[in-house]
Structure formats: C-alpha cells, structure tokens
Structure 1
C-alpha cells in the first residue's frame, strides 16, 4: 500500500507492507488523517524526544534514521477484523481510535514509532478496544479532529477552570485553537487569545475567543480588564492590611471570621487561567513574570529544547504550574460525542486538505504560522496546497 515515509527528515511516498491484524486488532481504510505539530517536531527532533521518553519508560519512539509513517490523528472504515475481536464493530463501520497499539515488541504510539506505522497511509492497524464508532453521520473532515480536540479537552479539564474564570491562551496554533474551542463549548465567558500572526488571531476569534491580542503591541493580560487581580506584591500587602484593619473592628474575633470566610471560599485569591501553547524556550518564564499573582499556568506547548525559569519569581507570586499531555479514553469519547452532537465546533481549524503526494509540501506550509492551522490528508486525493 502507499504511505508517506519519513527518514532522516525526508518525506516521500512509497510502498510499504499491508498491515496484518493481530489479536484484538482491526485494520482501517484511512479516510482522513490530520498533520499534527508532534509530526512536525518528530521530523526534525525525533532523537531528542526519543531520549526523553527513554527516561520516562518508553523506548519505542521514532528515531531519525528509522523509516517512520507518521499519523496519529485519524478516522477510517473497518475493513478487516483480527483474531479475538469481539465483532461488535462490524466491517464497514467508520471509527476513530486512540493511537496506541500492541505489537510483538510491546505497546507503541501509532504514527510515532517505527514499530507502529501511522495513518499517513492508505490503511492503518488499531486496537479494537481503543476504537470508537463515529456517531450521527459525523463527516470524516470533522471526525478526524477527535484526537486533537481531545488534547484541548484534557488541558481544559486539568486547568480546573469554571465559567466565571478568565482564560488566556498564549499561542494560537492547533493546540491553542483546540483549547479555545473547548473553552467556548464550556461557556467560559472571557477568553483572551494571544498570537503574533494575524491569521491565527482571526482563527482564534472564529473558534470563540472573546478578545485577541498581538503580544508585539500589548500584553495579553491587559485584555482581561479589571477583574480584581493583584499584579504587585506591594499591592497585595496593602490589601492584606486593609482587610485586617476591617476585621479588627468587628465584635467577633478576627480569626473566627477569617476562618469562616476561608472555609466558604471567599478568601481564595482571584486569578486567571493561562494556557501556554507555544512550546519554545523563555515563554513559560515570561508568563510567570508577566501574569498576575496566583495565576494558574497550564503548559500544553511541547518545547523540544532545554528551558529556564526563575523559581524565585514563581514562588513569590505563588504561580500554579501544571503540565499536560494527551487524554484518557473517556475524554476521547466525550470529544467525539461533542463533535457529533454539534456542541463542539472545530471546523475553523481545518484550513487545507492534501493527498499523500501533497504531505511534504503541507509540512513546509505549516512551518509558516500565518497560513494554516490544521491540514488534513485524504489518501484518495491527489491535492496539493496551493501557494499564495
């Protein structure tokens, strides 16, 4: 079958062996596959990522010298069932699947390991246990967004954000846009999206951002308005003194009143939720330095180089720093349902479609941030991205 193979950072269409389903596995005819930022990173930084994952307990990540078929954001139609499958997902059923598969040498990430060829191909192998039928006649161009949108849902879930909290999304690539879409679906009232590229700011607005900011000219935190955040340690001390002076005037002991208010949640500091979706050195430290005190920072951007932060700044400002990766099966299923029911509108993300022959050009186009967000592969198409 035809597939796009990467080796030594070069991409080319070639013939590879047909997938053979093992115990509990399905073969899918690929209908669509998205090009992910992880694919772009792996093309040039596979070895660095592989070294990190070895330390984390996974030795199967792609290496630059290996022949790898990328593609972990996919939907397809079941065409073959392996031994030991339940038969609950019949042939001809359109499905999406979590991109993990058990091979002879263990579990592997589909499309990010030479042991588990991905969906930049005509067909792909998946685990039946991870496959989910596509409901409500959801078209492939939207079903294919299940995996990247699940990334956004997981980041938002990990943030603990509520509808009344304000969100700042720093970086409006596909991950940042997915987060904006999910925040809108959840009814978050204030969503500030920050990006240098005008095209990406426009996409963020289409996805549901209430304010867009060019960080070259203004701070994204200025877009939050006057929400009572504290931006200075001196101001925090002044507010603390004013509160204690008021409590001292009450007929009840101040510590009893303050303790009761604390239990009811009235003393919790006001803070925004910031989603870091850039993934380049210095961005996390800049957020820690510039954001209001007590800000919760959710790091969703994948930085492939060593980075530096100043812990003393984060300590003094009591910054809450959380890192996110992936999703769980329930989040994947919930994302698929939200897309199929029309509650989650991710359609603005798709900015282009190519065939297998157009993948190399799409990688080049995606390196220019203002033109495209999510490019989708249709293996039966011969399309290339048109040049401006």
Structure 2
C-alpha cells in the first residue's frame, strides 16, 4: 500500500462522516473538532509521579494524564521543596493518606488553561507559559468556620492542600512530587513570573511565617517593632524564614537558638543579631540566663517556637519577660505533650500565647512580596535550599532530610 492508497482511504472516511463533500480531496474539520484534539497537548498524554505507597516507601509510577475541565489548569511541575510535614507523612502516614503524591512547596509552568479561567486569585491574567504557585483549595460551603469568619478559613476541618490529598482513580496528579499538577476548581493560584524557581519554591513556607507574624501582631501591644528583642527557637527552614521575615519587618534585635552551628551561621546571614547553641549549656535555666544577658536582664519581648519539639515549647517560657508573648509555630503534627507551670510560666508573667496554623490563601501575595523585599535588602533567603535532587532520587532526598543534612531539600522535576 503506497501513499496514494492511504490518501484515498482517508478521504473516503472523511466523506462518510460528512466532513468533506463528494469529489473533494481536502478536509477542514469544524472548529469544535480542532478544540477537542487540542484539549490535552500531544506531549502530555502521561506523566510520572512519586507515590508514597506505604510509610518509607516511594515508587515512581507512570499515569495517564486526563483531559482538564473548563475550570482547571494543567501545570508542568518544575520543582518542589521537601517540607517537614512531607517527612512526617513519609515516616508514618499520620493523616492516613497513602497511597498519594506528596509535595506542596512547589511551582511550575502553565501548559493549558481551562476555557473559564482568565485571571489568577489577585486579578493577574493567566496564560500558557506563566509561572505559577498554588497550595490551598476552597473549603466546603458547609464549613461554619469559613462561612462566618473567612479570615479563619485555615482552621476549617476540611482544609485541603495539594500534596496532602488522597489519590483519585481519574487524577493522580494531586501533589508537586510529579511531572504534572492539575489545579482544580476552587483553588487559589498566583502568577509569579518575576521570581526564580528557588524563590517560588519558598513562597509556601514563607506564607507560614507571614501568618505567624500576623498572629503575633494581632495581640496588640508594642512588642513587634524596631526595638523589640525577639527569640526564634529552632533554625530549620521555617525558623530561618521566621528570622528573615522579622528582619524584613524591621525588628533589629533577634536571637536565634539552635544546636547546629551551620544553621546558626545561616541564621546570622538572614538577620539574627545573636545566636545561642543550646548544646553548650547544661540546662534550660542556663539558656534563659544567656537570653536575659542579651536583653537587659529582662528576657525577650516575644518568642517564636519553631522546633516541633514539645520540651522546647516548655523551655521558651523561661526566656520571655513579664508581659511578653509566645507564638507556637512548630507543631503541625502531634509530637506529644510537655509540662508547664501555669502560675509561673503564664499567669505571673501575663504571657500572651498564640498558636499559628498554616495560612490563608490571601497570605500568598504577602509571602512573595516578603521574599522579594528580603532579597532587595540583601538577605540570601534562597541559601536555605542546600540540596537538589531529581525526581528519580526522591528517596535519597527524604533520607537526606531525615539525617538533617543541610537545611532545605528541593526536588527538581
């Protein structure tokens, strides 16, 4: 069979379908036929994703890529940071999500936009080729917390985060540890073309610290200003970004507390004025004495607890002056309990205690403006990304994180 025979067969099929008239030798399909064929780009029929199939077991699997709907966006993932929450899921599946695709500190390039999508969540035009970030989906209309207090939608019981969603039969691309992400209806998303891929991967954790800062500020008083003396306990990725956001906000007296000399050095570069290595002290009381020596003998005005270690929370009260405050940022999973003395630690000092839980979608713009401002004033925020791994080596990436090597581990897709 030669090309002439093939051409005759194709023309006969098209005549039978009514797409060309009798005797015609060319065909021009209707517009809807062209649109249907372009619904999923030919280069994106399937993609790989790292599936957590059980605790401590990730498998790279190939999945078909379904056609997106008119209110959805198809993203080609570029990179994603490994969050502490990802590591907790990897170790023990505390939320009962397996099998699923993790990853929520990610970013990628738009390769297809649903017909109904015109703008991102702050009114920027969105189009193919744009760089984008997303994390949260809208809560259920039945959620009374979100309904009566939208500013507290982050406390909804059905808060949904990409990378912390169960697998679905018709969509396996729910997290950033895969080649693609489908942004579904009801999601917040933001076009961030003017940022490097590293900076974009820090927007989600930056939203965490921006929210924590707002929680502390919500308590009123005069505790967070140029002369405030602040302790940040824990210099992991969130703690380091907490230091950076405080410095960017104008706080000039920041004390960083950690047991890793490398992380303490990084804390200095990101805005800490003083550092304390807790391993050099015999007790929490001695650490508190050191803090008081750096704060005119009174203790810090405010402390941010970012370790995720319960006993660290208990110890922080000793470092805070009377009338001061504490923001607990570090416990996104249940790490256990600790003992405090309500009289000595809270009542006698009139301590203000606030918790900080994730963030709201409207805090994403605040987060990326913070990161841009931090870079402009010379804070090397992207330096916290110390390791990069391809998707094929995601197990090695998680093991690196578990060994606490470096600071922030990033997966490049």
Structure 1 counterpart of 2:359, from 323, 327, 344? 327
Match status 1:114 vs 2:155: no
Equivalent residues in 2 for 1:132-281, closer than 5 Å: 132-136=190-194, 138-160=195-217, 161-218=224-281, 219=287, 222-223=290-291, 225=293, 227-228=295-296, 230=298, 271-281=300-310
Equivalent residues in 2 for 1:1-388, closer than 5 Å: 1-9=47-55, 10-18=57-65, 20-47=67-94, 50=95, 63=96, 66-86=98-118, 88-100=125-137, 108-115=160-167, 117-127=174-184, 130-136=188-194, 138-160=195-217, 161-218=224-281, 219=287, 222-223=290-291, 225=293, 227-228=295-296, 230=298, 271-302=300-331, 303-310=333-340, 311-313=342-344, 314-340=346-372, 342-343=375-376, 345-369=380-404, 371-379=405-413
After superposition, give the CA deviation of every residue in 1:292-312 in whole Å (9 maximum; x if it has no partner).
Answer: 333311111125233133323
Structure 1: segments with no counterpart, 5+ residues? 51-62, 232-270, 380-388
Q: Partners of 2:382 and 2:294 in 1: how far apart?
A: 32
Q: 1:273 to 1:221 in 2, by over 3 A?
A: farther
TM-score using structure 1 length = 0.76
SS in 2 for 1:327: coil
Tell me the CA shift for residue 5 of structure 1.
0.9
State the aligned residue count.
321
SS in 1 for 2:77: strand
After superposition, give the CA deviation of every residue in 1:322-380 in whole Å (9 maximum; x if it has no partner).
Answer: 110222233211222333453464112110111111211111111123x211111111x
Tell me the CA shift for residue 119 of structure 1.
0.4
TM-score using structure 2 length = 0.72
Q: Partners of 1:165 and 1:107 in 2: how far apart?
A: 34
8 A Cα contact 1:135 1:337, kept in partner: no
Tell me the CA shift for residue 25 of structure 1.
1.8
1:57 alignment partner in structure 2: none
8 A Cα contact 2:54 2:93, kept in partner: no
SS in 2 for 1:338: helix
- Across the aligned residues of Structure 1 and Structure 2, the Cα RMSD in angstroms comes to 2.4
Tell me the CA shift for residue 289 of structure 1.
3.7
Structure 2: segments with no counterpart, 5+ residues? 1-46, 120-124, 141-157, 168-172, 218-223, 282-286
Q: Partners of 1:144 and 1:296 in 2: how far apart?
A: 30
SS in 2 for 1:351: strand
> Could you say which structure has the larger radius of gyration?
2
